Amino acid sequence: MLLKKTLLIAALLSPSLFASAHDYSAGNLHIEHPWSREMPAVAPTAAAYFVVHNKGAEADRLFGASTPHAGKAELHEHVHADGLMKMQHVQSVVIPAGGEVKFEPMGYHVMLFNLKQQAKDGERFPLTLTFEKAGAVEVEIAVQTEAPAASAEPVGHDATHQH
């Protein structure tokens, strides 16, 4: 009887444990907590963030991203130019051997254009990241009202910039 109760409790708890697991691995790459900030319903764009760790001895390269949630997804970065912060499209991002690259507010990020609708806090949507060596890796983007503590966003930044 005790075994049955233990198995029942484990079965009831396991979906919540899997739901909170939010890291992905592919080859030597580990992708940590993909997320996006909840944006106003009228915002034309959104951005996705995550950290890619490369545990391998060779660099890999992120070439692109796609999602059924948006008409277009592009790799972008913020750069300082002439005393201003500007956003620019990048063709790829190198993930160094034994290193990591943070996709975070005011740094590298995946811009999502032509959204079918803005996602709300607590929702998730798929994003496929395409790497040179690791190949296509599908992750789920968790939509949150606030940035995770480790990648807190500077005050006043949002993902509604235009091109």
CATH number of the domain where residue 117 is located: 2.60.40.1890
Per-residue pLDDT at 117:
92
Q: What is the pLDDT of residues 118-162, one digit of tens each?
A: 999 999 999 999 999 999 999 999 999 988 875 444 433 444 444
Per-residue pLDDT at 56:
96
User: Sorting pLDDT into bands at 50, 70 and 90, what band is 114?
Assistant: very high
Domain count, the chain: 1
Burial class (CB within 10 angstroms; exposed 0-12, middle 13-18, buried 19+) of 37: buried
Residue 154, in any domain of the structure: no
Residue ranges making up the domain that contains 113: 23-147
Residue 123, in any domain of the structure: yes
CB 73 within 8 A of CB 110: yes
CB 118 within 8 A of CB 38: yes
Residue tagged 């890999």 (tokens): 60
Residue 43, in any domain of the structure: yes
Residue 12, in any domain of the structure: no
Per-residue pLDDT at 82:
86
